Each structure stands twice: as structure tokens, then as C-alpha cells.
Amino acid sequence: MSTDHYHDHDHHHPRGVLRSILRPHSHDAAESVDAALEASRDGMRALKVSLGVLAVTAVVQVVIVAASGSVALLSDTIHNFADALTAVPLGLAFWLGRRPATRRYTYGYGRSEDLAGVFIVATIAVSSAVAGYEAVSRLFHPHDVHQVAWVIVAGIVGFAGNELVAVYRIRTGRRIGSAALVADGLHARTDGFTSLAVVVGAVGVALGWQVADPAVGLLITVAILLVVKGAARDIYRRLMDAVDPALVEQVTAILAGVDGIESVDAVRIRWIGHELHAEAEVTSDGKLTLTQAHDVAEHAHHHLLHEVPRLAQVTIHSSPVVASGLDPHALTAHHFTHAPTR
């Protein structure tokens, strides 16, 4: 998270103040910034480790392919290699997200992570289409499976490697709040499903039940579609600037309890990549000086950083309590028709 002001002029530059706004308490804010950076690092590490696991899985499969000479297995292995590549845009997004804000991207590059998520969801959707197509084509053109034992071993290896990666990515993604990393974990899980389908199909064929292969393939297609639905919904929500309503309630309640805040008019929270950014409109006594109002805001900010995990930035806008019923924001008020947050 960039907190430095980007202008380079040094005359009367309120850098200290700005810093104190964005990193209001040296210790807390530093913790918060560090936490954000650490989250990106954790995400990167999850990607690297899981890429390693997938590479080992693929190498084992290649060895089995060489030993068995099975063309069907070869295509599954190539699929595994190709699918691991969704980690590339995601890694790029984690790296981009740590870059400071610019004049064009005034909120930083955090949202590139969610766009990487779109790419991952599209890849899962294509995978499900391919799996469905293959299952249907095998239904009409059943083919013999040779070297059933090898196929089963390779399938189990593929399933184990992918599921391991899936659990690791999903867990890390949930912890650091990255919807895209969770989606990539789900992607690995669907690849594991596909390998499992190969195993079940091969067992069926070995038992002389030819229809098992396409039937399992169709079941797996449906399972992948269910997974893609969940992942797509999460990424869509991030792109929509949607957020858990409980979070808005929590922040509203915390702000309402801060001394010096008379009322909480609006709270807006959104995800930028794996960070939460909040913006609050509160009222306070109009006779306070800005410095005093700033102290109130700092106090509120402090509470929020302690109590809301993954919150990276808070902007608190205090306006005077309106006595005459004249809303100072009448001009723009109807653009933010707020939920009842008072």
C-alpha cells in the first residue's frame, strides 16, 4: 500500500500530516501496511509452492506416460501443465498490487488481482466445457482403455497433487482475503476432479462396465460447473464493489461508539484486491477545530484497525452536526442512497 504523497515539490509539503492520516498511529499503521505487504508475500509464496507441487505431479505423470505409452494420459498431463499457468497472471497481479498509486491509478493496482480472478474463472469454465465435450464424445464413441493399472496410478497422483495445491491455495486465499487465490485453488480442485474421473472410469472399464467412463465424465462436468459458479460469484462481487453487510454494520457500530462522533451518516467499504478500504461520513460538533476533529478521526481509525481484519485504509470525513435541517451534501446525497446505517 502506497502511502507516500506523489508530488515531488518540497515547499510547505504536508507530508508529515498526510502520513499521519494514512498511517495515523505509527505502530498500528505500520502494522497495517506490513500486514498488507505480508499478505501479498503469503499469496506469492502460496503460488510458488503450489507451482512446485504441480510440477512434481506433472513430472511423475510424465514418467508414468513414458512407462505406459498411453496417449490418453499424455493429454491429461499436458492439461495439468497448461492449467498451472493461471498462476502467472495471479502472481503478476500480486506483484502489481504492491506498486504505489500513480496519477492514473489513484487507488493503486490492487484490483488487478480481481481481473486475474476473471481470467481464472474463464479458464475453469473452458475446462468444464472440454470435460463435458469429451464425456459426451466417449458416450457415443466408447474407446478401450489400455494399461488400466498405470492409468489408475497416474490419476491418483494427479488428484493428490491438485487437491493438495487446492487446499493450500484456498486456505491462504481465505486468510489473506484474496478471492482470486481462492478461485485458483478451486481451479486446482477441478483439475483434481478430472484426474479422479479418469481413475473411476478406468476402474469401471476394468470391471467391464464401459459406460462408467463417460458417465463419470459427465458427473465431473457438473461438479466443475458448481465450483465455477461459486468462484464466479465471489469474483463478480469483488468487481461490483460488493462487501459483506455485516462488515458495514461492524464498522458503523465501532464508529458510533467513538467519543466526539455524533452520528454516522454513511459507511462505504470495498475490496481492492485482498485489502479492505473504508470510507465513512460522520458528524461532529461544528465548533471543533480541524485538529480536534482529526484527533477524533484518529481515535476512530485506531479502533477500526484493531477490530477489523484486512482493513488497510480508512478515510473519515467529518462534517458539522446540522442544526437547521439543511444538509450540506444535498447536491450529491442522492448518489449514495445509503442503507440505514445510523
Partner 1 sequence: MHRLGDTVTWDPFPPTRHFDDTMDRHDAHRAIGVSAVGLAATGLIELAIAVLTGSVGLLGDALHNLSDVSTSAVVFLGFRLSKRPASASHPYGWERAEDIAGLGVALVIWASAVFAGFVSIHKLTEHGHTTHLAFGITAAAIGIAGNQVVARYKRTVGRRIQSATLVADAQHSWLDALSSAGALLGLVAVALGLPWADAVAGLIVTGFIIHVGYEVTGDILQHLLDGVDPALVASAERAALEVPGVDHAHVRARWMGRSLLVEVEGFVPAGRTVEAAEATGRAVEAAVAAAVPAARAVLWCPRAMPA
End-to-end CA distance of the chain: 30
- Residue 217 and residue 131 in contact, taking contact as beta carbons nearer than 8 Å: yes
| CB 98 to partner 1: min, Å | 15
Task: For residues 214 and 209, give the distance between their C-alpha atoms in angstroms, rounded to a whole number.
Answer: 11
Residue closer to partner 1, measured from CB, 141 or 291: 291
Which are the contacts of 62, defined by CB distance < 8 A and separation ≥ 6?
77
Number of other residues whose CB lies within 10 A of the CB of residue 5: 15
Residue closer to partner 1, measured from CB, 21 or 151: 21
Residue closer to partner 1, measured from CB, 97 or 155: 97
Task: For residues 336 and 2, give the distance between their C-alpha atoms in angstroms, rounded to a whole number.
Answer: 27
- Residue 120 and residue 227 in contact, taking contact as beta carbons nearer than 8 Å: no
Residue closer to partner 1, measured from CB, 187 or 277: 277
| CB 255 to partner 1: min, Å | 14
Residue closer to partner 1, measured from CB, 38 or 244: 244
User: Which cell is 78 given?
Assistant: 499436458
Catalog residues that contact partner 1 under the rule CB under 8 A.
5, 12-14, 16-18, 21, 101-107, 109, 111-112, 114-115, 118, 122, 236, 239-245, 248-249, 266-270, 272, 279, 281, 284-291, 293-294, 315-320, 328, 331-332, 334-339, 341
Which are the contacts of 318, defined by CB distance < 8 A and separation ≥ 6?
261, 282, 283, 284, 293, 296, 297
| CB 239 to partner 1: min, Å | 6
Residue closer to partner 1, measured from CB, 147 or 319: 319
| CB 23 to partner 1: min, Å | 14
| CB 106 to partner 1: min, Å | 4
| CB 257 to partner 1: min, Å | 19
Task: For residues 154 and 18, give the distance between their C-alpha atoms in angstroms, rounded to a whole number.
Answer: 58
